Structure 1
Amino acid sequence: MPVLPELLTALRDERVEVVDLTAPLSESTPILQLPPPFANTVNFRLEEISRYDERGPRWYWNDIHTGEHVGTHVDAPNHWLSGKDGASVDQIPLRTLVAPAVVLDATDKVAGNPDFLLEVEHVQAWEAEHGPLPEGGWLLYRTGWDSRSNTQDEFLNVDDGASHTPGVSPDCARWLAEQTPIAGFGVETVGTDAGRAAELDPIFPCHDRILGAGKCGLTQLRNLALLPPTGAVLVVSPLPIVGGSGSPARVYALVERVV
């Protein structure tokens, strides 16, 4: 039996739901803020070209101004020094961009500790309950941080000059990169690393290890609470920017529902 007609029927009958995991892009979308002397990306901005006026009487369009790593976005392997010889965003295999996804929920741990770091034993405990991580798929790390994504201050959670957001320990980042079959790692926070990742060894271990292993990152996801621990299919649609280190992306999941 052909597969695609059955998928379309399942979508129409709502046996398969499409869940949007993308943060809307606007001038208020939170962005990463690096301390001096490091350079920062620009905020997203629309610049109107015409809107049914003398500049163009029947059409409305804009120029967009944005960085590669603004809003919900993909980190390609070449984004980090450890992966500098790896794939750029236009070279990420399509089999990575449409792939199985699992969700590890750490919201209870993060609720009492915004600096919480995921450890190997946390992932192994998840595997003991739900089965192995998906080969060629994505591990999505749910922390509840998307509830803070409406304002820059809440999202970055800066106190005493340091950002306090959850992330991954160096040992876990290394293990995910080297010992698991996943192709990518996704988070709800502004970046795949913890807010205080510059204090870890190596610094920014998720970027260093996961991108260095030729795997991808995915950030600022929303609505992971609507996904099951296993069984979803993730669809990631970055712009194929030639030579780019990443791209804003529309990200959604296909989830089978019992009706």
Structure 2
Amino acid sequence: MFRDLSRPIETGMPTYPGDPDVTLAPDATHEADGYATSELRTGTHAGTHVDAPRHTLPGGETIDGVDAGRFAFDARLVDCRPLEPREPIGAEALPDPDAGDPGTPGATALDPAVDLLVLRTGWAAHWGTDRYRDHPYLTAAAAERCRELGVGVGLDALGPDPTPPGPAATGPDGSRDAEPDGTPAHDALLGDSLPIVENLCGLEDLPPRFRLYAFPLRLRDGDGSPVRAVAEWEG
């Protein structure tokens, strides 16, 4: 079975604060030109996309320098729900290399074939609203757990680090003082060339294990790229 886990690219779609707006408009038309083409203007991190190490690390690998096969993942779904706005996701929510995988009853270890943890936060439901910015984020310990496991991260949210809040946003205690500055989770993962796939959707009833294909555009010296993210599993 296959399922598209990516957001449609369209004019006015949500973007990370400060990123370029997305426009998709007709260029040539059948009526005027006898054929149709469109003009797309977008940032490299719009919609469902993958980050290259160059995204947060000046000397990091670029998206066109990453072998295409590294974007075909053996994925493990981790259900982190329920979560509050801007709630940190700790290492205890992730598989433990010593105690096994908490998401699978009776499991004794995380399959070493897994190279991507897909974190279901529930924040896909807030796409298109200010609350989407108030997604949960990975703690330093959680990012370190991923490094220990040698796995990347996919999320149904803007990213693994906190996003600047929307106009009406507040954290669980009304304060952001405890939130990390900068991009520490990005840096920890991308520093080990571990993938990050952001703004996934359609995670509600996925099986615990599946293949995830998220092939980027071959952008010269790119820091990331929109993808068509597709899950595959046996029906």
TM-score by length of 2: 0.84
Match of 1:28 in 2: 12
Find 1:181's aligned residue among 150, 156, 159. Answer: 150
| Equivalences for residues 43-192 of structure 1 within 5 A | 43-54=21-32, 56=33, 58-81=34-57, 84-108=58-82, 110=83, 113-123=84-94, 124=96, 127-128=101-102, 129=104, 130=107, 131-132=109-110, 134-135=112-113, 137-149=115-127, 151-156=128-133, 164-177=134-147, 179-182=148-151, 184-192=152-160
In structure 2, the CA distance between the partners of 1:238 and 1:166, relative to structure 1 (3 Å rule), is same
The answer on whether the counterparts of 1:235 and 1:252 sit within 8 Å (CA) in structure 2 is yes
Q: Which moved more, 1:164-173 or 1:67-76?
A: 164-173
Find 2:208's aligned residue among 212, 218, 229. Answer: 229
Matched, 1:248 2:217: no
Structure 1 residue 188, shift from structure 2 partner: 0.8
Structure 2, unaligned runs of 5 or more: 165-175
Q: Secondary structure at the match of 1:191?
A: coil
Find 1:239's aligned residue among 208, 212, 217. Answer: 217
Q: Distance in 2 between matches of 1:207 and 1:48?
A: 36
Which structure: greater helix fraction?
1
The answer on whether the counterparts of 1:19 and 1:252 sit within 8 Å (CA) in structure 2 is yes
- Over the aligned positions, Cα root-mean-square deviation in angstroms equals 2.1
In structure 2, the CA distance between the partners of 1:166 and 1:133, relative to structure 1 (3 Å rule), is farther
The answer on whether the counterparts of 1:202 and 1:208 sit within 8 Å (CA) in structure 2 is no
* Structure 1 residues 66-89: Cα deviation after superposition (integer angstroms, max 9, x where no partner): 0001000110111112xx323211
In structure 2, the CA distance between the partners of 1:229 and 1:167, relative to structure 1 (3 Å rule), is same
TM-score by length of 1: 0.77
Q: Distance in 1 between matches of 2:228 and 2:178?
A: 32
Q: Distance in 2 between matches of 1:173 and 1:246?
A: 20
The residue identity in structure 2 corresponding to 1:132 is L
Structure 1 residue 201, shift from structure 2 partner: 4.5
The residue identity in structure 1 corresponding to 2:70 is T
The residue identity in structure 1 corresponding to 2:221 is G
The answer on whether the counterparts of 1:51 and 1:59 sit within 8 Å (CA) in structure 2 is yes
Structure 1 residue 93, shift from structure 2 partner: 2.2
Identity %, equivalent residues: 26
Structure 1 residue 133, shift from structure 2 partner: 5.3
In structure 2, the CA distance between the partners of 1:142 and 1:133, relative to structure 1 (3 Å rule), is farther
The answer on whether the counterparts of 1:68 and 1:247 sit within 8 Å (CA) in structure 2 is yes
* Structure 1 residues 213-241: Cα deviation after superposition (integer angstroms, max 9, x where no partner): 111211000011231122x0111121010
Tell me which structure has the larger Cα radius of gyration. Answer: 1
* Structure 1 residues 29-66: Cα deviation after superposition (integer angstroms, max 9, x where no partner): 21111xxxxxx221110232111133x1x211111100
Q: Secondary structure at the match of 1:226?
A: coil
Structure 1, unaligned runs of 5 or more: 1-16, 34-39, 157-163
Q: Secondary structure at the match of 1:176?
A: helix
